Each structure stands twice: as structure tokens, then as C-alpha cells.
A and B are shown apart, each in its own frame.
Chain A
């Protein structure tokens, strides 16, 4: 008889000590005085469970999640594309960019100029940076220029073409986006504008102060490498063979590869 009572007490104690049982009991409120006393005693000695704040995630309140009826479901708008651009795949802040790409002049009807651009950039932020540029060109006369000379004995003395260019720009990168390639791969990109000043060396050996504006896109291939195209427009006044000073402009199209370093600091 005694052992049966001891067993019963021990069983009750065991149930009280089980955490799940104690939580369930608080909600259920069975009303057993003995159990309440035991629980109170245990509560005094039980270790306090520390409450830690989770800094980034807040559980929505149950009121927000509460659904009163389902009649409104039929009126819900379809889940369309969310117009939010997430964090950058390839951050540029406090990183350098080294770019190299073959290039040609797209707007010269008299000469074919092919060469390359080398650019080095530093980004203060995701939006602003500075860039140093150097380009060199190899040029030959187009068929039209040869025909003008051969058929009409007219030489292109009043024409000037660039041998090289060196300058500095301020880069503004206001546009960031993502593209999907045939709905498979996602490629993040930046679209930038830059403007600056430099010097063009012409085929006659003279240097001409040059205003440079450019735009282009940088497609992130990885967090360190990117494909980039660049449209650069150079404006300058240069002296011709006739000793006249004329205005010229060259529109360069360059496609190449960028390397970003050091390694990015991620969120």
C-alpha cells in the first residue's frame, strides 16, 4: 500500500518535471491543487530561460495572420513580378576594376581604326567612381578614301584620326539590374555613364585636349569578373595637314572583360 502511494507520487512528480507536460498543464488548467503546489515549488528552483532578442526577424503577430473568412480569396490580385532589385551580386564599393577590350571607331567614313582600351577604375560607392583610360588605335584608309585619291587626286589632308588617347573620368552608376538569358541564367548588370577630360594624340603627332563622355554596361560573370561594353565619344579640335584647326569626334565601341579586386566584402 505504501509502495503504491510512493509510486503514484513519483509518477506525478515525473509528469510535472517533463517540460512539455508543464507547458500543456498551464494551458489546460486542470485545477489539481497538489500539482499546482509542486509546480510552484519547482518554478522557484528551475533555471530561468533567458530571452534573447532576434535582431533581424520579427514574427508577425497572430492577429495579422488570422484569417476570418475565405470569401476574399477570389478577389486577390495575381502574384505578379515583384519590382524589387535585391542586393548586389557583385559589389563594387571600395574595389578596383581593371578593364581591357578590343575596340573600333564606328563613325569614321574615311578610316578604319581598330585598337584597344585599357581602363582602371576605383569605386567609392556603388554609384560613384573614378576611372583612368588609355587607348591605342591602328588605322588604315577606307576604300572610299582610296577611290577619292585614285580617281580624283584628292588627298585627305584635312582629315585627322587618333593614334592614342589618355584621360580621366568620373563614373556614375545609377542603374543596376538583372537579366535572364533565354529564361535560364540570371546575369546582374550595372549601367554607367562617365565624363572626363584627356588628351588625344593624332596621326600627325600633335596632342589635342579632348572631352570624353561614355556609357556602357557591366555584366557580372562572377564576383570578380565581368563582361563590359563601352561606347566612348571623344570630342577634340586638332590641327590638320593644311594647318587648319577643325573639330573632330570619334565614337569608340569597345567590348571586353573586367576584373574586380580585392575580394568583395559581403553583407
Chain B
């Protein structure tokens, strides 16, 4: 009889569990009580990119670019350059940059001929050489109208070097920002905005005026001072 009671207890428990299982109902919550936002998880050691499409570590990249000295008043604003960088890792790269200035004068210099100014007698900038450091702070990818995916690197640059004029070379510093858009794992478009600071001969000398008794002035007649020039560069990068 005692065994019978035990079994009856087991039976009742089973029945209860059985009914509970089948009686499970779908609970429908009103939409306003459902989660409305997504949140990003926070990890102790966050690693945002685990497998890069564009791996730069221990690689060399070669760059060809066209530059435009946007705040140059007198000389031709165009320059063409080549640069090579060694990428220590995904965040730091060191390299050298060489840019050759186009000869000639700007449209402003041509306009000032009407004021008897001849800037062709002033020493012109010929080339720029920099040791350049790139801090590749941002790496990412972007979709163009959901059809093409490009990888991009946004970096800061700091360079030290020389700006060579026809008569003399001057030390120069350059700070800038740049961005590369990789359309495959080797080739990229690159854009750089650099601010150069260097001493330079100033062409606005009296002896550059054709009516001045000392005209034409010699290169040594032009005073020097610190100048700032903003440069916009656009070009191609090949990553070996």
C-alpha cells in the first residue's frame, strides 16, 4: 500500500509536469516593450579587425602623386612626386618623399607683370625632400551604394627635410592628414593635405620691379623669412 502511494505521487507529479509542458503559451509583448536599440558589446581587450583585407605590416608601398601648393602666390603651384614607405606594422610607417616643382610662374605673377613686376629674377623652388612618418590610426571599410566595398586607411603624417630653391636649400617641416582608398589589396588612391613650414626667399623685392635702378636683382638680394604653404596631393599607391 505504501508503494502504491509512492507510485501515485510519482504519477501525479508526472501528470502535473506533463500538463505544464503542453500548456506553455506564447506570450506576446506589445512592441513598445520590446528592445528598441542595439548596443555594442564591450570587451576587456577589444580587437576590432582580426583579418585584414589589406595587410601592410612589413611591406613596402610606393606612391606617385601630383601636388598643388594652394597658397603659393608667385610660382607655379604644381609638383610631381614619388614616395616610398616601409610599414613597420599596421599602425606605423616610415619613408622618404621627393617632389619636383614645375617651373614657371603662377597666374598672379603674370597679372603682376602689368605692375612692372618681374618675378622670374627671383629664386624659384625646385624640389622637396622629406623623411616622413605616417601614423595609420584608422583602418576601415566602406560600401559604395552597397555594390562595391573598399578598404581605407586614414593617417596623420609628419615630415622633416629640405626644400631646395635655385640658390639654396632650407630645412622644412611638414604636418598633414592623408587617406588611402584601396580598390584591391595592392592598389589605392591616396590624398594628402600637408602644411609646410620652411624658410624661403621672398620674391617681393624692389629689385624685382623692372623700373627699379637695381633691376635685375641677384638671388642674394631677396630676403628670407618663414613661410607656410598648404599642399593638396593626389596619387596612387602600390603595396608590394
Contacts and interface: CB of A to CB of B under 8 A. Distances in A.
Contacts of A80: 51, 53
B10 A85 contact: no
A85 B150 CA distance: 11
B140 A17 contact: no
Given A3-B4, A183-B90, A266 B142 contact: no
B49 interface: yes
A7 B10 CA distance: 11
B29 interface: no
B11 A180 contact: no
A33 interface: no
A7 B3 contact: yes
The B contact surface, by secondary structure, is mixed
Contacts of B202: 144, 147
Given A144-B204, A152-B209, A108 B71 contact: yes
B140 A180 contact: yes
A24 B47 CA distance: 46
A179 B140 contact: yes
B115 A7 contact: no
Interface in B3-38: 3-4, 7-8, 10-11, 14-15, 17-18, 21-23, 26, 36-38
A79 B142 contact: no
B140 A175 contact: no
A213 to B, nearest CB: 15
A158 B111 contact: yes
Contacts of A223: 37
Nearest to A152: B209
A17 B23 contact: no
Interface string A47-87: 10110100000000000000000000000001111011100
Contacts of B115: 152, 154
Nearest to B36: A266
A189 B17 CA distance: 53
A47 B23 contact: yes
B56 interface: no
B73 interface: yes
Given A175-B144, A185-B46, A18 B138 contact: no
Given A7-B3, A109-B108, A152-B117, A85 B149 contact: yes
A260 B204 CA distance: 49
B78 to A, nearest CB: 14
Contacts of B38: 266-267
A245 interface: no
A262 interface: no
A183 B206 CA distance: 56
B61 interface: no
B142 A176 contact: yes
B70 A180 contact: no
Interface string A163-193: 0000000000011111111111111010100
Given A10-B8, A266-B37, A174 B145 contact: yes
A191 B90 contact: no
Contact of A147 (B40, B145, B204, B230): B204
A116 B48 CA distance: 35
B48 A180 contact: yes
Interface string B123-159: 0000000000000011111111110011010100000
B168 interface: no
Interface in B177-218: 193, 202, 204-206, 208-209
B88 interface: no
B142 A19 contact: no
16 contacts: A7-B7, A10-B8, A11-B7, A18-B18, A47-B23, A49-B22, A83-B53, A109-B71, A158-B111, A174-B145, A178-B140, A184-B48, A186-B48, A191-B142, A223-B37, A267-B38
Given A13-B11, A183-B47, 18 more contacts: A17-B11, A17-B18, A81-B51, A85-B142, A107-B70, A108-B71, A109-B70, A109-B71, A152-B117, A152-B204, A176-B142, A177-B152, A183-B49, A183-B91, A186-B48, A189-B140, A189-B142, A267-B38
